[in-house]
Amino acid sequence: MIVFVISDNTDTYTGMRLAGADGAVVHDADALHAELERAISSGAGVILATEKARSLDPAAFDDARVKPLVLIIPDRHGTAGESIAEYVKKTIG
- Three-state SS string over 27-45 comes to CCHHHHHHHHHHHHHCCCC
Sequence-distant (6+) residues with CB within 8 A of 56 are 8, 26, 27, 28, 29, 32
Q: 21 with 63: CB under 8 angstroms?
A: no
Three-class SS state of 46: strand
pLDDT in tens, the chain (93 residues): 889 999 999 999 998 999 899 999 999 999 999 999 999 899 888 899 999 999 999 998 886 465 667 777 777 666 656 666 666 666 665
- pTM of the predicted structure, to 2 decimals: 0.74
Expressed in angstroms, the distance from the first to the final Cα of the chain is 22
